Structure 1
Amino acid sequence: MTHPAQIKIPATYLRGGTSKGVFFSLQDLPERARQPGPGRDALMLRVIGSPDPYGKQTDGMGGGTSSTSKAVIVSATTKPEHDVDYLFGQVAIDKAFVDWSGNCGNLSAAVGSFAISSGLVDPARIPHNGTATVRIWQANISKTIIAHVPISNGEVQETGDFELDGVTFPAAEVQLEFVEPAADDEGGGAMFPTGNLIDDLEVPGVGTFKATLINAGIPTIFLNAQDLGYSGTELQDAINADPQALARFETIRAYGALRMGLISNLEQARERQHTPKVAFVAAPAAYAASSGKAVAAADIDLLVRALSMGKLHHAMMGTAAVAIGTAAAIPGTLVNMAAGGGERTAVCFGHPSGTLRVGAEARQVDGQWTVTKAIMSRSARVLMEGWVRVPADSF
Structure 2
Amino acid sequence: MSHAPQIRIPATYMRGGTSKGVFFRLEDLPEAARVPGAARDALLLRVIGSPDPYGKQIDGMGGATSSTSKAVIVARSSKAGHDVDYLFGQVAIDRAFVDWSGNCGNLSAAVGPFAITNGLIDPERVPDNGVATVRIWQANIGKTIIAHVPVTQGAVQESGDFELDGVTFPAAEVQLEFMDPAAEEDGAGGAMFPTGNLVDDLDVPGIGTLKATMINSGIPTIFVNAGEIGYTGTELQDAINSDPKALAMFETIRAHGAVRMGLIQHIDDIASRQHTPKIAFVAGPAGYVASSGKQIGAEDVDLLVRALSMGKLHHAMMGTAAVAIGTAAAIPGTLVSLAAGGEGRDTVRFGHPSGTLRVGAQAALIDGDWSVTKAIMSRSARVLMEGWVRTPG
TM-score range, shorter chain: over 0.9
Q: What is the identity percentage for the equivalent residue pairs of Structure 1 and Structure 2?
A: 77
What letter is aligned with 2:323? V
Cα distance per residue 1:230-274 (max 9 Å; x no partner): 000000000000000001101111111111000111221000000
Partner Cα distance (1:104, 1:277) in 2: 12
Partner Cα distance (1:208, 1:97) in 2: 32
Shift of 1:187: 7.8
Partner Cα distance (1:254, 1:371) in 2: 26
Shift of 1:6: 0.2
Counterpart position of 1:124: 124
Partner Cα distance (2:263, 2:195) in 1: 12
Counterpart position of 2:69: 69
TM-score, reference length from structure 1: 0.98
Counterpart position of 1:152: 152
Cα distance per residue 1:6-64 (max 9 Å; x no partner): 00000000000000000000000000000000000000000000000000000000000
SS of residue matched to 1:68: coil
Partner Cα distance (1:3, 1:365) in 2: 64
Counterpart position of 2:353: 352
CA contact (8 A) 2:188 2:261 kept: no
Shift of 1:2: 2.3
Counterpart position of 1:83: 83
Shift of 1:184: 5.1
CA contact (8 A) 2:188 2:262 kept: no
Partner Cα distance (2:344, 2:193) in 1: 18
> Any gaps of 5 or more consecutive residues in structure 1?
none
SS of residue matched to 1:324: helix
Partner Cα distance (1:268, 1:42) in 2: 22
Shift of 1:341: 1.1
Matched, 1:252 2:250: no
Shift of 1:386: 0.3
Shift of 1:188: 3.3
Matched, 1:43 2:43: yes
SS of residue matched to 1:327: helix
SS of residue matched to 1:27: helix
Alignment of 1:145-184 (within 5 A): 145-183=145-183
Partner Cα distance (2:246, 2:265) in 1: 25
TM-score, reference length from structure 2: 0.99
Cα distance per residue 1:156-184 (max 9 Å; x no partner): 00000000000000000000000000135
Cα distance per residue 1:367-389 (max 9 Å; x no partner): 00000000000000000000000
Counterpart position of 1:378: 379
What letter is aligned with 1:335? V
Shift of 1:206: 1.7
Matched, 1:133 2:133: yes
Partner Cα distance (1:110, 1:269) in 2: 29
Partner Cα distance (1:184, 1:97) in 2: 23
Partner Cα distance (2:55, 2:320) in 1: 25
Partner Cα distance (2:94, 2:82) in 1: 36
> Any gaps of 5 or more consecutive residues in structure 2?
none
Cα distance per residue 1:54-84 (max 9 Å; x no partner): 0000000000000000000000101111000
Alignment of 1:215-294 (within 5 A): 215-294=216-295
Partner Cα distance (2:318, 2:188) in 1: 23
Partner Cα distance (2:182, 2:7) in 1: 41
What letter is aligned with 2:119? G
Partner Cα distance (2:4, 2:320) in 1: 40
Partner Cα distance (1:310, 1:38) in 2: 24
Equivalences, count: 392
Partner Cα distance (1:321, 1:307) in 2: 12
